Each structure stands twice: as structure tokens, then as C-alpha cells.
Amino acid sequence: MRITVLAGGIGAARFLRGLLAHVAVDHPGAEVTVIGNTGDDITLFGLHVSPDLDTVMYTLGGGIHPEQGWGRAEETRAVQDELGAYGETPDWFALGDKDIATHLIRTRMLREGATLSEATAALCARWQPGVRLLPMSDDPVTTLVDIADADGTPRTVHFQEFWVRRRAEPAALKIRFEGAEEARPAPGVLAAIAEADVIVFPPSNPVVSVGAILAVPGLRAAVADSPAPVVGVSPIIGGAPVRGMADK
């Protein structure tokens, strides 16, 4: 059995952990491919950070912080504390010391000419997540949020600033996926959808996670054209998100 999952971060990673436990018993030998959202990717202190890819990798590889659902277990932040002592910003996005090692490797590989797919595969070689983890695209796609300041001044911010720094306040006026129209699906993505026996949308944010993935040209059509059953698990129950701020 070939299962393809279009995934965001924490909710998807926890779902995938359960999915792998299930298929190990009922469908041993099943191949699971995860197409991860990269619209949340951000550059901090010169480092390329891929929050959703890393959350899936750490969770399935056994290195995730169990309570937070993001970042590394038993993490320290000496490097970020030192950056703060130098007055370097931003300080609102947590970068742990172990996590920084991941970002350093990814950034070095990208600067040396590797693709994001190749960097992701290299990182997964250590963690052995039990899935084939693919970015939705090797091309940059950035999720931007249009908001209005308290005085009504319009502003566009990176999704991470909106979500992490501002805690989804004020409410989003519009979500845009910059670069999506020019992006191409990463190698293996369209084949993973076309060859799947089942396609799954886990409980990820339907707008900024699933929406970003489907914004890459060809992905929405590939899902629609697939003869495989498509299963969606909603992260919203009774009109409210199970976790997070998707209602903002």
C-alpha cells in the first residue's frame, strides 16, 4: 500500500505518528510519503529554517519536545541568548542549540547548490522518520499575511511573525503565497500523488498549511485527478480549531 500525506506541522506530525503505528500492524510494508508545507520557511540570522518539515522529522524520529510539539527535546538556547546579548534580533522565534545544528546543515547544503529536497533527505538520514519526507517545492514559496495595525495602517508580515510574534493579532485580512505561481512541485511529489493508493489530509491548518501546498501549480489538479480515495481529517471541531489559532 502506498499512502501519500499532505502535511503541515504539529497536528500532521502527531497524526502521522499514529498512522505509522496503525499501518505497522494492519499494513506492514506500507510506503508512506509525506509532502510537507514549506510556506512557513523563514530565514533567521542567515539560517534557512523549515519549521513544518523539521516538526515532522523530529516527531517521527523521536527527537521532538513532547509538550511543545515543536523543537527538540531537552533543548537549550545558549546561542540565542548570546545573540540577544549582542542586541541581535528577532528574539521572538525560539531557536534551540540542537535545532540550530539542523538549520546550519540545511543552509550550508543550499548555499553549496543542493536543493531543499536533497537537504531534507540528508537530514532524514539521521532521524529515520519511517516516511519519505518531501518538501512541496524546491522553489521558495512564502506565506504572507495582510493585516492592519491598530491605527488602520495596512501591513504585510511573514506568517511566522503573524503567528508566533503577534499570536495571530490583529486578525488576518488576506493570506498570500508569494512565489507559488512560479514554483514547481519538488521531484517525486506529483508521482507520489499519482501512484498513491490513498491520499490523506491530516489535521493541519486548512488555510496556511494545506492551502500553501495546494497553491503550488499542479498539486491541486493532481489530487483531484487521482483515482485514489482522498481522506481528510479536520482540525476544526464545532467551529473551533482543536489547537492553534486557525480561526484567526
Q: What is the mean pLDDT of residues 180-203?
A: 98
The pLDDT tens digits of the residues spanning 150-162 come to: 888 899 999 999 9
- What pLDDT does residue 235 have? 83
- What pLDDT does residue 241 have? 62
Cell of 172: 488576518
Residue 186 is classified by DSSP as P
* Minimum mean pLDDT range among 51-55, 169-173, 209-213, 216-220: 169-173
Residues 69/141, Cβ–Cβ less than 8 Å = no
Q: What is the mean pLDDT of residues 46-63?
A: 98
Residue 42 Ramachandran class (φ > 0 left, ψ -120 to 50 alpha, else beta): beta
Domains of the chain (ranges; CATH) run 2-138+180-241 (1.10.8.240)
Q: What is the mean pLDDT of residues 18-30?
A: 95
Which amino acid does the sequence have at 143? Answer: T
Q: What is the mean pLDDT of residues 1-30?
A: 96
Q: What is the mean pLDDT of residues 16-34?
A: 96
- What pLDDT does residue 243 have? 58
CA 43 vs CA 35, 47, 107, 140: distances in Å = 21, 5, 9, 11
Query: Whole-angstrom Cα distance, residue 246 to residue 248?
Result: 5
- What pLDDT does residue 194 have? 98
Q: Is the peptide bond before 170 cis (omega within 30 degrees of 0)?
A: yes
Name the 3-class secondary structure at 174: strand
Q: What is the share, in percent, of the chain residues with pLDDT greater than 90?
A: 89
Name the 3-class secondary structure at 214: helix
Of 196, 188, 191, 156, whose CA–CA distance to 175 is shortest? 156
Partnered with residue 237 across adjacent β-strands are: 240
Contacts of 99 (CB under 8 A, 6+ apart): 54, 71, 72, 75
